[in-house]
A and B are shown apart, each in its own frame.
Chain A
Amino acid sequence: MSLHLESNAPGGPIETSWQRHKQASKPVSPANKRKYTVIVVGSGLAGASASASLSELGYNVHCISYHDSPRRAHSIAAQGGINAAKNYPNDNDSVWGLFHDTVKGGDFRARESNVYRLAQVSNSIIDQCVAQGVPFAREYGGYLTNRSFGGALVSRTFYAQGQTGQQLLLGAYSALSKEIGRGGVKMHTWTEVLDVAVVDGVAKGVIMRNLKTGEITRLAADAVCLATGGYGNVFYLSTNAMKSNCTASIRAYRRGAGFANPCFTQIHPTCIPVSGDHQSKLTLMSESLRNDGRVWVPKKKGDTRKPSEIPDAERDFYLERIYPTFGNLVPRDVASRAAKRMCDDGYGIGPSGYGVYLDFKYATERLGERAVGDRYGNLFDVYTKITGDSPWNTPMRIYPASHYTMGGLWVDYNLMTTIPGLFALGEANFSDHGANRLGASALMQGLADGYFVLPYTISKFLNSQTGGFSDTNHEAFREAEDSVNKKVDSLMSIGGSQSPDTFHKRLGKIIWAECGMARNEAGMTKALGEVRALRDEFWSDLKVVGGKDGLNQTLEAAGRVSDFIELGEMMVMDALSRDESCGAHFREEHKTADGEAKRNDEDFCHGAVWEFTGDKQAPDRNIEPLSFDYVPPSQRSYK
C-alpha cells in the first residue's frame, strides 16, 4: 500500500466545512489567471460546466471531446431530473435532508464531507440553470414544480419532461459555446485522450489522437481535469451511449491515479428488456415512471396470459407488498434485486421470462389521461418506438440494466486524484454516491463539480505551480506519446479473426453473469480467470481493418475494449475482496433474512482504492477509512 489517501476535508462542524475550506484557499489573482492553462477532458455536464466556469474566471481552457460536437456528451440522455434542497414544496426538505438521504442511499460508503457540500451547492445549480434558460417544468402559477424520486420521502426533483439531462446539458453547452466564441476555451472535437503526461510526479498534459486524421499530438497545461463519465459499458449492454468508455480513466490509473470502488456499479431497475443477440444497447425508462406506475408480476408462476387477462387479485404488486413505506419508490438497487428475485423464482414475464410489468392503468384511472400524458407522454412514445407496444394499452415490460457507475478515480475533497494536478469530476470520480446512487443525483453531482466546486478547489493547486507550463518536449511527453503509438500499432497489427465488438460482447456476458446484480465468490473466481483468458485472446486474435491515419471506428473501438477488459478484471477483484454486501454490491454470501444487502462495517467501512503495479500484475488494494459522524450507519430500511 503506497497511495497517499488523505481526503483533505476540513474537520470541525460539517455545516461550515465548505465555507471554511473556501476561506482558507487563496484565489489566483486575476492578472495571474491568464498565465494558467487547464485541460478539461469531456464536455458533458461536468466537463462543459467546468470549462465554461474556469474560462469565465480568466484561465485558458482546452476542452477535449471525441464527439463531433460538445453537445453530444451522454449527459444528454438523462431523463428524470435533478435534485436540490430548495424545499419549494414545503415538505420539510433541507440541505440536511438531501445530505442524509444521499449518505443513506449510498449505503454508508461515501465520504460525508463531500456529500454535505453537494447538498449545499445543489440550490445554486437550479438558479444557474434557470438563468441560462433551462425550461424546467412549472406550475400554472409560474413557479417551479417538483416530483419524487426513489429513496426520498420528499419531492425535491426538478425536471424538464423526460429530457432533463438534455436541457441541463444544452445549458452547460451554451455556457461553453459562449466561452468558445469569446476565445477563452479552445475546443478540440473529434479528439480522444489516450494518455496523461506526468512530469516529475505532476500531471502536465495529455497525449491525444485526432480521430479524423489519426494524428497523435501532445498538449501541455498546468492542470488536467478528467470529466470522462463512467464505465457502465463494461457490461457491453447498458443504458450508456455506444462510445461511452473508460479509456482516459484507465490510462490515468496506469499512470498512478488510484481507482476507487470499481465494483460499485448501478443496475437501473426500469429498462426495456433485451430482445435478442443483435442488441447493441438498452434503453432506460425513467425512474420518474415509478412515481405513478405500479410494478407487478402474475401471482402464478409461468403465467402466459396477456396482462389484460390477469385480474387485479392475481397480480403481485411485490414492491408495495414488501416495502409498504416506499412502495414503488424504493432505491434502485433494492428495486433491481427485487425484480431479479421475482424472475429467478419463475414469476418473470415476456418471451425470456426476464421482465416485470410497469403499469399505468391505475394512474390513468386516478389522474386522467391528460395528466399522465403531461408527465410521461414522451417516455411512452420512446417505449412505443422501440417495442411497437403502447403503454396506454398494455403495461410496459421492464428489466434492470447497467446504468451508472459509482466507482471511479479516487479524489480528495478538492477533486484531485492521487496524481497531483490531475482532477476528476462527475461520474468519472468516486466521491459522492457510495455504493448506490439515488435517482436525480448524477446531474446534480456533475454540475456541482463543474460549476461550483472545481473552480474553487483548483486554485489551491494552481497557486503551487508557476504557470505557463509548455514543455511538450519533456521526456514524460515523449515517453507517453511513444507508448500511445506502440499501443495503436499493436492493435493494428495483431491480424487475428475477431472484431473488437465480439470481445466486448463476450466481456459483457462474463461480467453481467458473475459480477452484475448478484455476486458470489465461486462465480467471481471463475469470472476472473475468464476475463484474463479473454485479455490474452484479445491480444492474439483481434482483427482491425483499415489504416491508422484517418477515421477508423474499428481501431477506436479496439482501444476502448482493451481498457474495458482491464477495468473488468479490476472490477471483479474489487467485488471479490469486498466480502460484504452494500448498496448495489450484493454478495450472495451476505444477506439479511429477508434477502437485503448486509453490510460489514467492522471490516469494510472504507473506500477500496486500486493502484496499478504493472501489466498482467495484480494491482494493490489501498483503503481510505470512512467515518460517519453525522448519519450513523444503520441497516437501510425502506419498509
Chain B
Amino acid sequence: MKIKLNIWRQNGPNDPGAFKKYDVEVIPDMSFLEMLDVLNEDLLHKGEEPVAFDHDCREGICGTCGAMVNGVAHGPGDKITLCQVHMRAYKDGDEIWLEPFRAKAFPIVKDLIVDRASYDRIIQSGGFIDVKTGSAQDANLVPISKPVADQAFDYAACIGCGACAAACPNASAMLFMGAKVAHFATLPQGQPERSQRVLNMVAQADAESFGSCTNHQECVAVCPKGIPMSAIAMLNRDLFAAAVMETGTE
C-alpha cells in the first residue's frame, strides 16, 4: 500500500526546518520505523540525505525512538512506542505528518532527533538512592509486600522517552519526574533521601525550562509504559511536604 509522508526536515539546531513530502510503498507487517528504513534506502539511492531519526532496540524498551505522528507522540495505539507501531494501523493512501518531539528543553539535533539530556540531568540531580557499591545488606532483610513492590515496579517502568513532555501543552516533565519520585517513595529504601530528592529534581526541571502540570493529562494518554496520573499526585504531595519541612511553616 502507498503512504503519503510529510516529514520535518531540519539540518541542525539553528536551521529553520520545514515539512517535505515523500511517497512510500509499504506492506502491513512492516513496523513504522521499517517504513522509514525503506524511505531512507530510496533517498540514499537518489543521492539525497536520509531522514535522521533515532531508534535502537525496536522493541519498546530503550526509549530512544519517538516522534509526533499526526500530532500524537509515538503515533496510534495504546501504550506503545513508535517502533512498535506497525503499518497495519494504516490503510492505502493514508497521509502521515511526522515531526520531532517539541519542547524547549529538547533542542532539535537534526530532522526527527532531539536531545533529551535534560532528563538525564534531572536524574543526576537526585533521581537515585545513594548506596555505594558493596555497602548493601542482604536482599531479604527488609520484606516489602508484593502489592507495594508491584506498584514500585509500575512506576519504575518509565523508559525516559520524552513523550510526556512532548505531548504536554506546558512541556512539563512532571510525569517523568513523578515516575521516579513515586518509584522510590513507594519503597523503604527510598525514604532517607525522599524530601531532598524531590526538591532537587523539581529545581533541576525548572532550570531546564520544563513547564508545570495543569492537569491536561496528555502525558498519561501517550505514555508507552502506562505511568499513571498518581505519579504526579505523589510528586506534588512529596514536594509540598518537603517544602513545608524545609521552611518549617505551613
Residues of B near A241 (CB, < 8 A) are 56-58, 62
Q: Does A362 contact B (CB under 8 A)?
A: no
In contact, B61 and A76 (Cβ under 8 angstroms):
yes
Q: Is B41 an interface residue (CB 8 A)?
A: yes
CB distance from B154 to the nearest CB of A (A): 9
A136 close to chain B: CB less than 8 A: yes
Q: Return the CB mask of B82-116 against A: 1 if under 8 Å, else 0.
A: 00101010000000000000000000011001011
**Residue B138 lies at the interface, judged by CB distance under 8 Å to chain A:** yes
Contact between chains at A68 and B116 (CB < 8 Å) = yes
CB neighbours of B125 from chain A (8 A): 181
Q: B59 within 8 Å of A by Cβ?
A: yes
- A residues 168-212 with Cβ under 8 Å of B? 170, 173-175, 177-178, 180-181, 187, 189, 212
Contact of B139 among A53, A86, A284, A553 (CB under 8 A): A86
Q: Is B178 positioned at the interface, with any CB of A under 8 Å from its CB?
A: no
Q: Is the CB of A550 within 8 A of B44?
A: no
A455 to B133, CA, bound (A): 10
A545/B149 in contact, CB under 8 A? no
Whole-angstrom CA separation of A253 from B138 in the bound complex:
40
Distance between Cα atoms of A141 and B140 in the complex (Å)? 11
How many of chain B's residues have a CB under 8 angstroms from any CB in A?
Answer: 78
Q: Is the CB of A167 within 8 A of B156?
A: yes
The listed residue with most B CB atoms (<10 A of its CB), out of A163, A173, A174, A543, is A174
Q: Which of A220-228, A274-282, A318-326, A601-609 contacts B (4 or more CB under 8 A)?
A: A274-282
Contacts of A135 in B (CB 8 A): 149-150, 152-153, 156, 183, 187
List the A side residues contacting B52 at CB < 8 Å: 551, 553
A543 vs B12: C-alpha distance when bound (angstroms) = 23
Q: Which of B30, B189, B190 contacts A278 (CB 8 A)?
A: B30
Bound-state Cα–Cα, A502 to B27, Å: 19
Contact present for A177 and B38 (CB under 8 Å)? no
Instruction: Kindly identify, within residues 22 to 65 of chain B, every residue whose CB is under 8 Å from any CB belonging to chain A.
Output: 27, 29-31, 33-34, 37-38, 41, 44-45, 47-50, 52, 54-64
Interface residues of B in 120-161 (CB under 8 A from A): 120, 123-140, 143-146, 149-150, 152-153, 156-157, 159-160
Mask, A438-452, CB within 8 Å of B = 1, is 000000000000011
Q: What is the distance, in angstroms, from B148's C-beta to the closest C-beta of chain A?
A: 8
Pick the residue among B59, B64, B86 that contacts A68 (CB under 8 A). Answer: B64
Q: Are A166 and B119 in contact (CB under 8 A)?
A: no
Whether A140 pairs with B117 at a CB distance below 8 angstroms is: no
Q: Using an 8 Å CB-CB cutoff, how does the interface string of A130-172 with B read, 1 for contact, 0 for none?
A: 1111111111111110000000000000001101001100100
Q: Could you tell me the distance between the alpha carbons of A18 and B146 in the complex, rounded to whole angstroms?
A: 36
- Which residue in chain A gives the minimum CB-CB distance to B113? A551
CB distance from B73 to the nearest CB of A (A): 17
In the bound complex, residues from chain A placing their C-beta under 8 Å from that of B63 are 69, 71-72, 76
- Residues of A near B12 (CB, < 8 A) are 550
| Chain A 570-602: CB-based contact to B (< 8 A → 1; otherwise 0) | 000000000000000000000000000000000
Measured between beta carbons, the chain B residues less than 8 angstroms from A174 are 123, 127-129
B184 at the interface (CB under 8 A from A): yes
Q: Does B165 contact A (CB under 8 A)?
A: no
Q: How far is the CA of A144 from the CA of B146 in the complex (A)?
A: 9
Please determine whether A166 and B61 come into contact, CB atoms closer than 8 angstroms. Answer: yes
Is B171 on the interface with A (CB-CB < 8 A)?
no
Q: Say whether, besides A52-B133, A167-B153, A67 and B146 are in contact (CB < 8 Å).
A: no
B80 within 8 A of A: yes
A424 at the B interface (CB under 8 A): no
Which stretch from A382-390, A401-409, A560-568 is at the chain B interface? A382-390
A303, CB-defined interface residue at 8 Å: no
Residues from chain A with Cβ under 8 Å of B152 in the complex: 133, 135
Contact B146–A88 (Cβ < 8 Å): no
Tell me if A74 counts as interface (CB < 8 A to partner B): yes
- Given contact pairs A53-B133, A177-B124, A551-B110, A545 touches B50 in the complex (Cβ within 8 A): yes
A160 to chain B, nearest CB (A): 6
Report yes or no: A385 in contact with B139, Cβ–Cβ below 8 A. no
Task: Point out residues on A near B: beta carbons under 8 Å.
Answer: 49, 52-53, 56, 67-72, 74, 76-77, 86, 88, 124, 126-144, 160-161, 163, 166-167, 170, 173-175, 177-178, 180-181, 187, 189, 212, 241-243, 275-276, 278-281, 283-284, 381-382, 385-386, 388, 451-452, 455, 497, 499, 501-502, 543, 545-546, 550-551, 553-554
Given A71-B160, A452-B133, 9 other A-B contacts at CB below 8 A? Answer: A68-B117, A86-B140, A142-B149, A160-B156, A163-B61, A283-B59, A501-B37, A545-B44, A545-B49
Q: Which B residues have a C-beta under 8 Å from some C-beta of A?
A: 11-12, 27, 29-31, 33-34, 37-38, 41, 44-45, 47-50, 52, 54-64, 77, 79-80, 84, 86, 88, 109-110, 113, 115-117, 119-120, 123-140, 143-146, 149-150, 152-153, 156-157, 159-160, 183-184, 187, 189-190
8 contacts between A and B (CB under 8 A): A56-B133, A69-B63, A135-B152, A177-B124, A212-B109, A242-B55, A242-B57, A242-B58
**What are the 6 A-B residue pairs with the smallest beta carbon separation, nearest first?**
A142-B143, A174-B128, A131-B136, A181-B124, A135-B153, A127-B136
